[in-house]
Structure 1
Amino acid sequence: MSQNGKPRDALEVHIHPGQLDAIAGTGTTTSEEEYDDISGSSPVAATVLVRRRDQGSSSSMTATATSSGAETGINQKTKSRRPLLIPSDQSTSSSFEGALPTATANVGKRRGYVLSADDDAAIRDAVSRSLQRAKGGTTRGARPGAKFADLVFTRKFSTFDRQNQDAANSPFHGFFTLFWMAVFFFILKIGAENWKKHGNPLGTNEIMKTMFRRDVLVLLLADGVMCGMTGVSWLLQRAVRAGYIDWDRSGWVIQNIWQSIYIGAVIGLTLLREWPWTHTVFFVMHGMVMVMKQHSYAFYNGHLSSTYKKRAQLLSKLKELEKIAPVESPSATEPPASGLSTSLLSKIPSADEYKEQRRHSMSHDGRAVPDIDRIAAAISSGEPLDESQVQVFERILKWEVDALSDELKGKSTLASRAYPNNLTFLNHYEFIVLPTLVYELEYPRSDKIDWYYAAEKMAACFGIIFVMIMISQAFIYPVVMDTVRMKEVGMPLAERFMHFPWMLAELIFPFMMEYLLAWYLIWETILNFLAELTYFADRSFYDAWWNSVSWDQFARDWNRPVHNFLLRHVYHSSISAMKVNKHTATLITFFLSACVHELVMWCIFKKLRGYLLFLQMCQLPLVRLSRTKFLRHRATLGNMMFWLGIFTGPSILCSLYLIL
């Protein structure tokens, strides 16, 4: 034994945190989901360094696997607030079980993990599987036809958070400081001009008057009721658990009907109260968030309820099997023991292995009856079974029960959080306030609340809102009122269109500023504030979307919570439930997202024009264009085209809605 307690002949594999997911198979691959593809990014080398300690001598071997960079692994460049220790039963390290006798620990300043194994074969096998995944093998989170893609939640900070050391040490940190200094002096200039012209630093202040003129308390009360009404989804899941409702038959239909009624009531209230656009935007957007949360909560728990019922059926078959006295002569009852596949028995029972076995059997013959169903039918038939059948049946049944139990456990580390123990009032409403749209049985949590940090984010939130109001009042509101006066005096459409280029020129810069500030307000200040108050440790609310070279990359990176929801509940569910290919699933995902955005525009302008829907759907051919030989390796040109769309899109949309 060495001084640190490890065998001298042990092998150490030093793996960076981002590479751990790629090797364990928790990332995504570009070969299996186009919507989640990281196109346009350069390949990332995942290097595994293996050192052998052998009685004072050491040698090293390095294997490098090139992959496109799994979004849940290699591309994540944020740091933890505290060392991340991954126990062997969590999703990130569970893929090593059965292949490597591992001991996972933090390496300290090297910010990696040490995986120890007693033989070279185990290490070589892990490296070989890593290379296969890098070449396009299947990985967790990107299974064709998977009903629920596995999403990995880990401890991370958002990119611009001051606690993220990568951001603080960035060579562009000075530009970040310059930006906020410029914003401060810009607002100071606007205030001085307003004071000179109106005797008030806020100017005429119509926007703020609109926000607080009426129904502020009604809005807050309605929002509280709206959040409270999400409990209907919880009650439905309780009814499913009690057996009053079958999720696979009527449960999911009832849930979808309720969601339609829910969002209809949200929109209807804004029309009934004739709320201004500020109230409407907040209420409708928050209502959309609550609908997505309810959908994720209901459909994931509904999926688990089906798994729970299947597990109960198998347990009952096991009890029936225990009462069967095997016959001595070979039984003619189907299936014979030799006709069953027992390869799964050599593997550790888990949810992943269970799904893999089902996919494997379906890929060979989609019409074939799975072995477990044949076994259940044989037990129920009452026909005699021989000794070998009883033994094989029992082993397969127990393996399936254990695998289903692992599925019910999900990512939870405690039995109290596994299904159905998670169906509690507190668990549901805890999820409602968490800054995520994807329901899981357990999330990484922080140790305590940093109240100074929370106060900082709240102050930043109100500060940015004030800046947005000042910019809107000074540069956007006058243009809007000009178009209103054009319509009031009966100016013909053709004549109004003559003002379109000048309106666009006046709106393009303030809208660009408002767009950036609105994004920073929501995804950096509000979500981080909620995450701090709820002990939510995964702050990866966005990625480096400003470096996007295509619109699908932008769709993934600028709003990670919504992207994760669409990936699990639209993209993968379309493939699983509707049996469509990945290209059709991508089209469905983009179309649904565009329809929701167009609905919000209708709520604001009370006009159904389809401009936003059309422009969003135009992103699909632009995505294809970005993958052509002409643009594939021209990242700067692709980024310029992306920024041209961001720069002009919001102002064009607003101008069209105002002119027409």
Structure 2
Amino acid sequence: MVTRQQTKHTPQITLSLTVTTSPNTSNDGGGIIITSPNDPAIRSAVRHSLQHLSSPSQLPHGEHKTRRPSRPKFSDLVFTRKFSAFDRQNHEAANSPFHGFFTLFWMAVFFFVVKIGVDNWRNYGNVLGRNEIMRGMFKRDVIVLLVADGAMCGFTGVGWVLQRAVWAGWVDWDGMGWVLQNVWQTIFIGMVVQLTLVRDWPWSHTVFFVMHGIVMLMKQHSYAFYNGYLSSVYKTRMHLLSKLKELERVSPVRSPSQTEPLASAVSTTHLSRIPSAHEYRERRMSISEEKVPDIDKVAAAIGSGEPLDEEQVHVFERILKWEIDALSDELKGKATTPERAYPNNLTLGNHYEFTVLPTLVYELEYPRSEGINLYYAAEKIAACFGVIFVMIMISQAFIYPVVMDTVRMKEQGVPLAARFQEFPWMLSELVFPFMMEYLLAWYLIWETILNFLAEITYFADRSFYDAWWNSVSWDQFARDWNRPVHNFLLRHVYHSSISAMKVDKHTATLITFFLSACVHELVMWCIFKKLRGYLLFLQMCQLPLVRLSRTKWLRHQATLGNMMFWLGIFTGPSILCSLYLIL
């Protein structure tokens, strides 16, 4: 049996399952089998049933499903206590029938690295071989890099200063506030990129600094625009409170007042529902741009000083109190204490706490763990350096020699046509090591670094990725392989494009993909000092591939879709690198 329960904040599903067996069936439950609601098969069946029941074709004859309005740009993102898929604390992963392949993978990596080290020892007398990559990473400016990175994180406090000014009323967020924030963000990322060019850092320094700068940029944007939105809500609430005070001083007239709006013309159906942020947003989105909201008419009537009758005073008071309570709930957000609600959250400590949390989406409060497991944190940081060592070994043995061959060809003036003749051979030599590096880089960031940060910051939501390796289309991959960035793009690009620019979902998707591709291309430009657009072009090619995956020929071909996805992952990084090296 599946039932829905609607709470104040989120809809919940209560699941109870009773299976009646035949009299001949032997069991200890007297014909009743009780199963856990967390069973994956049961949850899948429930989702299918709910989707089936919500389909318009399943509604009774004559009834039509009400079309819900589009979600706002600051739509709710639910943070809950979760573990990442490959984390040893995730008991579901440990009990997976494929867990042995995970163990086999790391055993194979270990023996592979041992073989590389043995070959290097035999040929060069050093397990690291010639060790050009390691020497290049630590040859110069390591201290400068760390100091610059610390200063960059410190400069994010500019956004906090601006939000304090917005709350104090010195700057209007809907006017000059968001302009100043965008100007500062442009200056910030410009300084980050410019420093890498001025210092002429090696690729390792550049990748770290630029990527971390982009992360800090996204954090600043989320912090500023969410708090800026709350500042507008706060200002509206204060305005309505002042109108309520004015209404309390009004002496109602006995005869029916002709002041607009009349009490009978004001909608009061929503007053029967509990005032909440959800109800407030749903009502606000359901009002067309041409129609003036009732609350604005009420506020204008109170401020006009025109006479109001008793019925108007009574109805206006109820409407104002409902609206104020709903706005108060919006300002509270997911905070469980008043100290976390807006504007009490605008502290320097809260701002810099957000800069180290492993998330790019700002919320007033997140689910937190009870304590820090120091052994677990040490395990993750050891795994981090171990994976970096493996990546250096693979790069030194298989990628660095190919790169240096192309550099020598350019230095010797080999014509472009002759260099292109080497392209297939270069691709064949790079495809396997780049695939290995791609997987290890993903594991390094999303499994070791983010879990380490989550552990030391008491951050309980560890769902940094979903099962992207099972992707059958590129849009599924974009959603699953990097959940922090996906959540940021969903809230601050996709939904913001729909609400602010009034575009449809397809255009918002195009904008989101294009912005993501431009950021990736910026990183490639910083590394290679070349603006070629190869990565941007390949990423934008994902859009027609997404459309192709939804055609009737591929819609239900999960294995074929997954093969096409892995083909792109397998060849994409090596093709990109080869193009940048050859041209």
Q: TM-score, normalised by structure 2?
A: 0.92
Residue 355 of structure 1 and its aligned partner are, at CA, apart by 1.1
Residues 1:180 and 2:106 aligned together:
yes
Out of 479, 484, 493, the position equivalent to 1:561 is: 484
Match of 1:7 in 2: none
Q: Is the Cα contact below 8 Å between 1:161 and 1:167 reproduced in 2?
A: yes
Residues 1:469 and 2:392 aligned together:
yes
Output the CA distance in 1 between the equivalents of 2:9 and 2:258.
44
Compared with structure 1, are the counterparts of its residues 20 and 645 closer, same or farther at alpha carbon in structure 2 (3 Å cutoff)? farther
Residue by residue, what CA displacement relative to the aligned partner does 1:21-76 show, whole Å, maximum 9, x if unpaired?
9998669xxxxxxxxxxxxxxxxxx883388xxxxxxxx99xxxxxxxxxxxxxxx
Match of 2:494 in 1: 571
Match of 1:132 in 2: 54
- One-letter code aligned to 1:422: N
Match of 1:346 in 2: 272
Output the CA distance in 1 between the equivalents of 2:6 and 2:427.
46
Out of 27, 44, 49, the position equivalent to 2:16 is: 49
Residue by residue, what CA displacement relative to the aligned partner does 1:442-475 show, whole Å, maximum 9, x if unpaired?
0000000000000000000000000000000000
Output the CA distance in 1 between the equivalents of 2:65 and 2:404.
57
Match of 1:449 in 2: 372
Match of 2:121 in 1: 195
Q: Is the Cα contact below 8 Å between 1:345 and 1:396 reproduced in 2?
A: yes
Output the CA distance in 2 between the equivalents of 1:406 and 1:23.
10
Instruction: Give 1:192-271 correspondences, 5 Å limit.
Output: 192-271=118-197
- One-letter code aligned to 2:442: W
Q: Secondary structure at the match of 1:153?
A: coil
Instruction: Give 1:174-573 correspondences, 5 Å limit.
Output: 174-362=100-288, 366-573=289-496
Residue 368 of structure 1 and its aligned partner are, at CA, apart by 1.2
Compared with structure 1, are the counterparts of its residues 441 and 23 closer, same or farther at alpha carbon in structure 2 (3 Å cutoff)? closer
Output the CA distance in 2 between the equivalents of 1:634 and 1:547.
13
Output the CA distance in 1 between the equivalents of 2:463 and 2:310.
55
Q: Secondary structure at the match of 2:554?
A: helix
Aligned residue pairs, count: 556
Q: Is the Cα contact below 8 Å between 1:22 and 1:130 reproduced in 2?
A: no
Residue by residue, what CA displacement relative to the aligned partner does 1:547-591 show, whole Å, maximum 9, x if unpaired?
000000000000000000000000000011111111100000000
Q: Is the Cα contact below 8 Å between 1:293 and 1:438 reproduced in 2?
A: yes
Output the CA distance in 1 between the equivalents of 2:382 and 2:94.
20
Compared with structure 1, are the counterparts of its residues 649 and 138 closer, same or farther at alpha carbon in structure 2 (3 Å cutoff)? farther
Residue by residue, what CA displacement relative to the aligned partner does 1:246-305 show, whole Å, maximum 9, x if unpaired?
000010010000000001001111111110000000000000000000000000000000
Residue by residue, what CA displacement relative to the aligned partner does 1:350-381 show, whole Å, maximum 9, x if unpaired?
0110111122222xxx3111100100111111
Q: Secondary structure at the match of 2:522?
A: helix
Q: Secondary structure at the match of 1:202?
A: coil
Q: Is the Cα contact below 8 Å between 1:156 and 1:538 reproduced in 2?
A: yes
Compared with structure 1, are the counterparts of its residues 173 and 430 closer, same or farther at alpha carbon in structure 2 (3 Å cutoff)? same
Out of 503, 514, 520, the position equivalent to 1:591 is: 514
Compared with structure 1, are the counterparts of its residues 651 and 138 closer, same or farther at alpha carbon in structure 2 (3 Å cutoff)? farther
Residue 173 of structure 1 and its aligned partner are, at CA, apart by 0.5
Output the CA distance in 1 between the equivalents of 2:391 and 2:8.
44
Residue by residue, what CA displacement relative to the aligned partner does 1:146-174 show, whole Å, maximum 9, x if unpaired?
12111000000000000000110000010
Output the CA distance in 1 between the equivalents of 2:259 and 2:53.
45
Output the CA distance in 1 between the equivalents of 2:210 and 2:69.
34
Q: Secondary structure at the match of 2:553?
A: helix
Instruction: Give 1:30-109 correspondences, 5 Å limit.
Output: 48-49=15-16
Q: Is the Cα contact below 8 Å between 1:479 and 1:503 reproduced in 2?
A: yes
- One-letter code aligned to 2:87: D
- One-letter code aligned to 1:464: V
Which has the larger helix fraction? 2
Compared with structure 1, are the counterparts of its residues 218 and 456 closer, same or farther at alpha carbon in structure 2 (3 Å cutoff)? same
| Bigger mean CA offset, 366-375 vs 281-290 | 366-375
Q: Secondary structure at the match of 2:15?
A: strand
Match of 2:575 in 1: 652
Q: Is the Cα contact below 8 Å between 2:266 and 2:294 reproduced in 1?
A: yes
Match of 1:4 in 2: none
Out of 54, 77, 80, the position equivalent to 1:151 is: 77
Output the CA distance in 2 between the equivalents of 1:384 and 1:23.
37
Q: Is the Cα contact below 8 Å between 1:145 and 1:573 reproduced in 2?
A: no
Output the CA distance in 2 between the equivalents of 1:622 and 1:108.
41
Q: Secondary structure at the match of 1:160?
A: coil
Residue 131 of structure 1 and its aligned partner are, at CA, apart by 4.2
Output the CA distance in 2 between the equivalents of 1:387 and 1:130.
50
Output the CA distance in 2 between the equivalents of 1:496 and 1:146.
52
Compared with structure 1, are the counterparts of its residues 334 and 155 closer, same or farther at alpha carbon in structure 2 (3 Å cutoff)? same
Q: Secondary structure at the match of 1:438?
A: coil
Unaligned residue ranges in structure 1 (runs of 5+)? 1-12, 28-45, 52-59, 62-106, 113-126
Compared with structure 1, are the counterparts of its residues 21 and 187 closer, same or farther at alpha carbon in structure 2 (3 Å cutoff)? farther
- One-letter code aligned to 2:243: K
Output the CA distance in 2 between the equivalents of 1:332 and 1:341.
17
Compared with structure 1, are the counterparts of its residues 22 and 556 closer, same or farther at alpha carbon in structure 2 (3 Å cutoff)? farther
Output the CA distance in 2 between the equivalents of 1:335 and 1:569.
37
Residue by residue, what CA displacement relative to the aligned partner does 1:473-509 show, whole Å, maximum 9, x if unpaired?
0000000000000100100001100000000000000
Task: Quote the RMSD (CA, aligned, Å).
Answer: 2.5
Match of 2:554 in 1: 631
Residue by residue, what CA displacement relative to the aligned partner does 1:517-552 show, whole Å, maximum 9, x if unpaired?
000000000000000000000000000000000000
Q: Is the Cα contact below 8 Å between 1:156 and 1:537 reproduced in 2?
A: yes
Q: Is the Cα contact below 8 Å between 1:570 and 1:589 reproduced in 2?
A: yes
Q: Secondary structure at the match of 2:128?
A: coil
Q: Is the Cα contact below 8 Å between 2:69 and 2:285 reproduced in 1?
A: no
Residue 132 of structure 1 and its aligned partner are, at CA, apart by 3.4
Output the CA distance in 2 between the equivalents of 1:568 and 1:437.
10
Residue by residue, what CA displacement relative to the aligned partner does 1:312-337 show, whole Å, maximum 9, x if unpaired?
00000000001100011000000100
Match of 1:171 in 2: 97
Output the CA distance in 1 between the equivalents of 2:468 and 2:36.
29
Residue 20 of structure 1 and its aligned partner are, at CA, apart by 8.5
Match of 2:26 in 1: none
Compared with structure 1, are the counterparts of its residues 269 and 173 closer, same or farther at alpha carbon in structure 2 (3 Å cutoff)? same
Output the CA distance in 2 between the equivalents of 1:559 and 1:420.
31
Compared with structure 1, are the counterparts of its residues 25 and 423 closer, same or farther at alpha carbon in structure 2 (3 Å cutoff)? closer
Output the CA distance in 2 between the equivalents of 1:262 and 1:328.
62
Output the CA distance in 2 between the equivalents of 1:267 and 1:656.
23
Output the CA distance in 2 between the equivalents of 1:177 and 1:128.
37
- One-letter code aligned to 1:369: V
- One-letter code aligned to 2:116: I
- One-letter code aligned to 2:209: F
Q: Is the Cα contact below 8 Å between 1:143 and 1:149 reproduced in 2?
A: no
